[in-house]
Chains A and B, each alone.
Chain A
Amino acid sequence: MITISKMSYTFGKQLALKDVNFCMKQGEFVFLCGPSGAGKTTFMRILHGALPVQRGKVDVAGYDLNTLPERRKHLLRRDVSVVFQDFKILTNQTVFANVALPLKVRGIPRHIIEKRVRAVLRSLHLDHKAMSPCEELSGGEQQRVAVARAVVVKPKLLLADEPTGNLDYELSMRMMDIFQQFHKFGTSIMIATHNREIMERMSGARVVTLHDGVMHEGCVETGGGL
């Protein structure tokens, strides 16, 4: 699903990622840990095509990101969904409109959109809020809308950047259950998190750590976020 070799990324003179080698198989569940500023978000943004590959080779969901032109990046984004740390939802639109958006841009017929969006909202306990404007929702509800929007398209790979950051314990666990369900249906999932409890909940999942831009296999004590 993901093959990365010797990938480095710099912001000006600041090194964010250094010679990262990483491989993720189809259907794998990976936790990406590391302290704040370790490069987790940069790593995810590169995988999603939001940042260009500066050095090294990156292949995601069958797309060679070294050669993928900007005008074809939407194809990558149709196979790879992202849950952003800051949600990135349209706050002036309803929950339903937000979750339906990725289906609409794919030209899916309205009756199918209706069915799929309702099902996802039900599984995330948001069905009663379907027609509420997102600006009226709490942070936790907005986060669930972001997750619903990411999973509604049944992506091959789901990247989630701190998806439980604004949720209490109970909702975090429910969210992980949802991720687990999608994982069972074959979706590869990578979650960037500080939360040990959710990692413990997914006992069989693989853990990788980013620290000072360098990737390590397993959970590494950093003295920071973990």
Chain B
Amino acid sequence: MSVFFHLLGQGVRDLFRAPWSLCMTIAAITLVSFLGGAFLMLVHNLDLQIGARQGNVQFQVYWQPQTTTEEVREVWAGLSSMEGVVNVRTFTPDQALGVLAESFQNSVDMEWMKGRSPLPPTALVECELPAEDGKKWAASMVERLRALPKVEKVSFNPLQVDLLTSWVGLTRMAFWPVTGFLLVVVALVVGNTIKLALLARREELEILRFVGASRAYIQFPLLVGGAFQGFLGAGLALGLLKLLHNGIEEMFNVPPLWMTISFLPPLHCLVIVATLAAVGVLSSLVALRN
């Protein structure tokens, strides 16, 4: 057991014998993993959006500007009970003003308009689209919403769903080729580093062989080195990805998208780290065999 831990430590220590080579390799793995992780995050968020909106259609209902909040609240209370409605978000004129200010990233001062907002009360009504004759049903829903007291305008965009579905189809089609390509790049980078390490330490490894070191004794530290490089690269890439996520998390949470970008779930992060460590081991193994 002590030999095992000794070799484990040896594998990591040996990498630091060529610190520049290690830095370059880690940088390359981090960059490739970051690109792969960003792609995964895109797919993950599109999946979330499609999951939340697939088969649903959103209607935006605008009331006449002079409608009072009391009048409109009565109507809003009844919206959820309408047939096919799954979610309702309402905005008083002041709330709508707040959202508008947010969409300008609060760079425009709208505080002075509070209490006398020119915007009308609005509601975002999300409905489940029936499997058959969706367009006809949507048109009838528009009529029903228009018939509500003091409603001025109703709009909806069924294309939104079609667009999302197309995006997800495209990313799913590209998922394996892109992932495969990125993994091959990582494998080549790690494999070449191990090959260079083998060349630099050829004499030392030859001596180890001649004094009776088993194949496992010689190869295990190199495999540990490969795994460590993959692990470290993946860890750094996830750290960078988290920084990117913090920057763009709320970027699309504005009308009409209302999208909060989610970070990769812990399981995905674990899979990325484990996959890169495994690729590191495999490419080291191939380098050793060659």
Residues of A within 8 A of B (CB): 48, 50, 70-71, 73-75, 77-78, 81-82, 84, 88-90, 101-102, 105-107, 149, 153
Contact = CB atoms under 8 A, between A and B. Distances in A.
B206 interface: yes
A77 B209 contact: yes
B207 A90 contact: yes
What is the size category of the interface that chain B forms with chain A? 10 to 19
B209 A74 contact: yes
Interface string B210-221: 111111010000
Contacts of A71: 215
Contacts of B213: 74, 105
A153 B212 contact: yes
16 contacts: A71-B215, A73-B209, A74-B209, A74-B213, A77-B209, A81-B211, A82-B210, A88-B203, A88-B206, A88-B207, A89-B207, A101-B208, A102-B212, A105-B208, A107-B2, A153-B212
A101 B211 contact: yes
B215 A48 contact: no
A153 B211 CA distance: 9
B204 interface: yes
A73 B211 CA distance: 11
Nearest to B211: A102
A204 B217 CA distance: 40
Contacts of A106: 212
A153 B206 CA distance: 18
The listed residue with most B CB atoms (<10 A of its CB), out of A50, A90, A107, is A107
Contact of B214 (A48, A74, A89, A101): A74
Contacts of B267: none
A102 B210 CA distance: 9
Contacts of A101: 207-208, 211
B52 interface: no
Contacts of B204: 90
B48 to A, nearest CB: 50
A105 B206 contact: no
Contact of A105 (B2, B203, B212): B212
B148 to A, nearest CB: 81
B271 interface: no
Nearest to A109: B2
A82 B207 CA distance: 11
B3 interface: yes
Contacts of A50: 210
Contacts of A107: 2-3
Contacts of A70: 215
Shortest 5 CB-CB distances between A and B: which pairs? A102-B211, A78-B212, A105-B213, A77-B212, A74-B214
A74 B219 CA distance: 13
Contacts of A78: 212
Contacts of B212: 74-75, 77-78, 102, 105-106, 153
Interface string B193-237: 000000000011011111111110100000000000000000000
Contacts of B208: 101, 105
Nearest to B204: A90
A87 to B, nearest CB: 10
